[in-house]
Amino acid sequence: MALNASLIRLLFCLPAACIAAEPLECRWTEETIVIDGNANEPAWKTAAVIDDFAQPWLKDRTNKPEHTKVRLLWDREWLYFQAEMDDADVWADIKTNDGDLWKNDVFELFLRPSAKHAGYYEFEFNAAGALYDAFLADAKAFLAPDPQKSGKFHLDAKVVIDGTLNERGDVDHGWRVEGKLPWTDLLPTGGRPAPGEVWGVNLARINYDRDKKDPALSSVAPLTEPSFHRTEEYSSIKFVGPAMSRPPQWKNERLRGSPDGPSKYAPVRVWPKLPSRAPVALASVPGTKWMWLSDQYGGWDTPSTLWKFKADGDGGDAVSILTPGEVVYCVEFHPRFAENGFVYLGVNGPKTGGGGNASRAVRYTVRDGIPDPSSRTIIIEWASNGHNGAALAFGGDGMLYVTSGDGSGDMDADNMGQNPKTLRAKVLRIDVDHPDQGRNYSVPKDNPFVSDSRFVPETWAYGLRNPWRLSYDKTSGQLWLGENGNDLWEMARLVQRGANYGWSRYEGAHDFLQNRVLGPTPVTFPTIEQPHSEFRSLTGGFVYRGKVLPELTGAYLYGDFVSGRLRAAKHDGTRVEWDKELIDTPFSLSIIGPDADGEIVLADYGAPGWGAQVIGALYALRPAPPAAPAPPFPPLLSETGLFGNAVALTPGAGVHPYEVASQGWHDGATGQHHLALPEGSGPVDWVMSKSWTPANGTALAQTLTLEGRRIETRVLLRQQNDWAGYSYVWNEAQTDAALAPKAGSDMTVAGRPWRVPSRAECLFCHSKQANFDLTLHEFQLNAGDQLRKFEAMGLVQVDSAAYERERASREHRSLPEQEKNQRASAVSTLLPRAPERLRRFAKPDEASAPLAWRARSYLAVNCAHCHTLYGGGNSAFDFDWLLTDDAMHAFNQVPQHGDIGISGAHVIRPGDPQHSVLIPRVTMRGPFQMPPAGTLIPDSIGLSVLVEWIAGLKSSK
């Protein structure tokens, strides 16, 4: 049997005007639907029955088509359909998919996801179980002589016949088809609908009868011609979502501001149109209004781009002036730049001829405002594969001071710190204006060790780990150096002639590797020292001589890359007169330097390459505008408004208790969590990578209980796009908790030591690179039925298409691309998938979970916030839970923090826990412990999981 030519022409005609009608309904289901053709799950009884199949294009409608009944359901991942068709003569002789199914008895489902976009889908099912599926960019596609099928689909359908197929002499009762279609197949048009969204739909049928020449066509759409492709005339269908009950929101009336009061200073974005993404070095061109910026993107070792832009502009005039193929750490202009055009760069890059990296001071001649690449001249260089130094500063004597680090990973692996015969681990002083024959500098005759054969004569000072920034103050003659510490301390030094700064026998003023032999001169301890409870990676700055902030005149500015804190210290040449915090910023402070007018510029390095793509920027420090009057920061937990009854931990209105899939280790304490979303905030955006970012004003609370006694309630508060951490310590009577001091405290609980973290310590784990809130994400919140409850309250919203694409990318699967000029994805409060098909962390003692996932979950919960890209872990490996094992860079990797006395150690040595430094790091407590903060007692259960996991890994031997 076949359709005649005139009918074929009508089937493929062009769209006409749309006729409005009451939308059909596709209702929500939470029930699992088994595709067996029977549709006997209770969910089908809740579906709307669509049975108004007709032939609206006919003037004579007395001849009714045989009865058809269709039901549609949907959930987070699937569209379900079920059609029942009365048919006395079931006919289908095409058995292969994608054939001319319209020559058989067929049921057809057409979907047009948007009335504003022409794309639509056709799905056909014949009585023999053959399928046809296609995406059509518009209804004209069938006008082509040989239309091409488009799209890849994963339909699951089952046909059941009540009668006999293709037996023309008997009488059948009918046939039915049940099926489901994944929303990801519809990603060319944005994928899944949002609850309440209305699409176009046509449910249609072609029915052949042995007694009739032509087939009977019927449709639920009010078609004016017998064409199932008249998309403008499709019926509308509404996707009815699950029931929602939005809870009240938290009226935060007290938990605002800071216990320290408002800051006197504020960062103000400058040069907002700069193409910079990760600023590394900034300098003003002498005698001009031009600035130069070294910018990096993609990782610590990514080569820099040098940009030039107007100091008084917005950065939109920036031009790239040099791409040297190296990291440019420093830009320093010659004191007589106007005469000679010399600029010096401190760089690190591949050695000439290969074999590791080298740090260098290189000189360029600037011509027409741009460094001439052909003028590149290496002044001095040394091998360096980490802790590279390469900071430069001209002194008042015209000499060039150059820093070098110990040139290796942590722990001074090459034992360079106290070695006087190497250029490494030093401040070097050279004369670039009077070079010796055969090299591009000379050694000044007044260098402190120029006549001491034990030293390289370039030495001005030595015993440095990782100098980060060097600056000379012309007014005072002070030469300041910032230095990164290793395990416990960060330093800033007023550099002295001939000083030995002690590394690696000392870290700052404290014993470090006591078996290291000191150099030949006494040790000089730091001018300024900050513990790791306050600073984690010190960024050196400069002595301020600007006009905007006169109270800081003559003070040395320095900050912390990890916590974002900026401080200033006034030194009178003999002692530090004062040292105070100026502002706690949300920045990864990579630059603290002057602009062309000597005013303070702060650079946020951002988080280049990280999943959230946080981009860095430049800011000026200015006086803060007057703050609006605010109530005092609550000194007691009961006054925060988080709890209606603090003693019972009864949540306040709009505060939600929540569970986590796997608790972090808190020395045996258990945690209760609460989330307070502020009034006026919308749902929290669900993202794949890292944690989510709730609205400003959000508070997270974690109450820690040990042996039946509450110890602390730790609170994270988000304000002005930044987070701060506070601890409330419970009293002995357990009636309330008081705000802990800024520096934290040490106490004894149940006969064991306990550390209440400082506010800076809170943010070492709750860091910018970890996106601060460590529990608001899929892997931790997917506990029990919690996510369904969040969904029902509308607390989260998700772009399911973006979610599926990112997940597929990480799992190395391909999904259909978004088609141009078609409906885009919808954001809704539905979960991206059913919770049982979302991911979650496993508890260490969760025996039903695979051992490998328990181990990776443990590392994710307890270690990944630091050991991730730019997380402050100071190691090459990465414990991000979204990475594959190989991508962690931990297996068979030599540890950068030393071998802890283990011969032949690796971070993780598969099959060999005894030679894996991860194990002793987790076991020990003290300077080398991991995690370095927040715990004083090792976790025996977690340790046993890690040991068993490593032992079971396949050895690479």
Does this model's pTM top 0.85?
no
Compute the average pLDDT of residues 606-629.
78
Contact 458, 447 (CB under 8 A): yes
Ramachandran assignment for 325, one of left (phi > 0), alpha (psi -120 to 50 degrees), beta (any other): left
> Encoding tokens for residue 442?
């000379």
Burial class (CB in 10 A: 0-12, 13-18, 19+), 832: buried
For the stretch 927-941, pLDDT in tens is 778 887 789 999 999
pLDDT (tens digit per residue) in 723-738 = 899 999 999 999 999 9
Q: Are 269 and 601 in contact (CB under 8 A)?
A: no
Best CA proximity match to 29, nearest among 81, 70, 71, 74:
74
Average pLDDT over residues 102-117: 97
H helix and E strand count, the chain: 10, 52
Which residues partner with 16 through β-bridges? none
Q: Rounded distance, CA 847 to CA 504, Å?
A: 44
Mean pLDDT calculated for residue range 628-641: 92
> Is 144's pLDDT higher than 70?
no
Q: If pLDDT is split at 50, 70 and 90, which confidence band does 7 have?
A: very low
In this prediction, residue 1 carries a pLDDT of: 32
* Helix, strand, or coil (residue 143): helix
Q: Is the model's pLDDT at 578 over the cut of 60? A: yes
pLDDT digits (tens, 9 = 90+) for 167-192: 988 999 999 999 999 999 999 999 99
Inform me whether the pLDDT recorded for 426 exceeds 80. yes
| pLDDT of 667 strictly over 80 | yes
Q: Mention every residue, 6+ apart, whose C-beta is less than 8 A from residue 11.
A: 3, 102, 142, 226, 227, 228, 229
CB-CB neighbours of 940 under 10 Å = 11
Q: Given 3-state DSSP classes, what are the helix, strand and coil percentages for the chain, each rounded to the nearest 5?
A: 10, 35, 55
| pLDDT value of position 15 | 40
In one-letter notation, the amino acid at residue 528 is I
pLDDT at 462: 98
Q: How confident is the model at residue 534 (pLDDT cuts 50, 70, 90)?
A: confident
pLDDT at 16 over 60: no
**Exposed e or buried b for every residue in 227-253, given b needs 16+ CB within 10 A?**
bbbbbbbbbbbbbbbbeeeeeebbebe
Gap between the Cα atoms of 782 and 771, Å rounded: 19
pLDDT of residue 768: 73
Given a cut of 80, is residue 2 above it in pLDDT? no
Helix (H) or strand (E) holding 952: helix 940-952
Could you tell me how many residues make up the chain? 957
The Cα–Cα gap between 227 and 120 comes to: 14
Comparing 13 with 93, the larger pLDDT belongs to 93
891 vs 877: CA distance, rounded Å = 9
Rounded-to-integer distance, Cα 179 and Cα 39, Å: 9
Omega of the bond leading into 476 within 30 degrees of 0 (cis)? no
Mean pLDDT of 469-490: 95
Pairwise CA distance, residues 212 & 87, whole Å:
13
Q: What is the pLDDT of residue 720?
A: 83
Please state, in angstroms and as integers, the Cα–Cα distance from residue 917 to each residue in 293, 516, 767, 912, following that order.
40, 21, 25, 10
- Higher-scoring residue by pLDDT: 514, 673: 673
User: What is the pLDDT, as a whole number, of residue 148?
Assistant: 62
> Is residue 868 over pLDDT 80?
no
What is the mean pLDDT of the segment spanning 319-324? 96
Query: 476 and 544 in contact (C-beta within 8 Å)?
Result: no
Mean pLDDT of the chain: 92
Give yes or no for residue 598 having a pLDDT over 50: yes
For the segment 97-107, the average pLDDT, to the nearest whole number, is: 94
d(CA 503, CA 396): 28
CA separation for the pair 626, 504 (Å, rounded): 47
Give the residue-averaged pLDDT of 599-620.
Answer: 79
DSSP string, 775-831: S-SHHHH-STTHHHHHHHHT-EEEEHHHHHHHHHHHTT---PPPPTTSPPP-EESS-
State yes or no: pLDDT of 141 exceeds 50: yes
* Mean pLDDT across 335-358: 93
- What is the per-residue pLDDT across 708-725, written as a single tens digit (0 to 9) for each? 999 999 999 999 888 899
> What is the percentage of the chain residues whose pLDDT exceeds 70?
95
Q: Is the pLDDT of residue 866 over 90?
A: no
Residue type, 300: W
791 vs 245: CA distance, rounded Å: 9
Mean pLDDT confidence for 114-128: 96
d(CA 259, CA 295): 36
Mean pLDDT of 310-330: 97
Q: What is the mean pLDDT of the segment spanning 903-932?
A: 89
With CA atoms as reference, report the closest residue to 535 among 501, 503, 569: 569
Give tens-digit pLDDT for 831-849: 999 999 999 999 999 999 9
State the pairing for strand pair 68-74/49-50: antiparallel
pLDDT at site 21 = 63
Please give the structure tokens belonging to residue 152: 């890849």
Amino acid at 167: E
Q: What is the mean pLDDT of residues 240-269?
A: 93
Q: Is the pLDDT of residue 140 over 60?
A: yes
Task: Evaluate if residue 13 carries a pLDDT over 70.
Answer: no
- Which of 616, 463, 468 has the alpha carbon at shortest distance from 535? 468
At 896, is the pLDDT very low, low, confident or very high (cuts 50, 70, 90)? confident
- Indicate the pairing of strand 131-136 with strand 120-126: antiparallel
Look at residue 956 in the predicted model and tell me its pLDDT.
62
- Residue 12: is its pLDDT beyond 50? no
Asked if residue 534 lies in contact with residue 760, where contact means CB atoms within 8 angstroms, the answer is yes
For residue 6, the model assigns a pLDDT of 35
Cβ-proximal residues to 98 (8 Å cutoff; 6+ apart), any chain: 131, 132, 133, 149
Work out the pLDDT band at 611, boundaries 50, 70, 90: very low
**Rg, Å, the chain Cα set:** 35
Burial of 387 (0-12, 13-18, 19+ CB in 10 A): buried
Structure confidence at residue 614 as a pLDDT band (50, 70, 90)? low
Residue pair 204/836 in contact by the 8 Å Cβ criterion: no
pLDDT band per the 50, 70, 90 thresholds, residue 610: very low
Instruction: Give residue 147's pLDDT.
Output: 61
For the cut 70, the answer to whether the pLDDT of residue 142 exceeds it is no
Most confident segment among 298-307, 316-325, 763-772: 316-325
Contact in structure between 752 and 936 (CB atoms under 8 Å): yes
Specify the range with the lowest mean pLDDT, choosing from 183-187, 213-217, 296-300.
296-300
Q: Are 801 and 816 in contact (CB under 8 A)?
A: no
Q: Please report the pLDDT score of residue 606 as a whole number.
A: 84
Report the C-alpha gap between 3 and 228 in whole angstroms.
Answer: 14
- Of these ranges, 21-25, 523-527, 615-619, 755-759, the one predicted with the greatest mean pLDDT is 523-527
Parallel, antiparallel or unpaired: strands 49-50 and 131-136: unpaired
702 pLDDT band (50/70/90 cuts)? very high
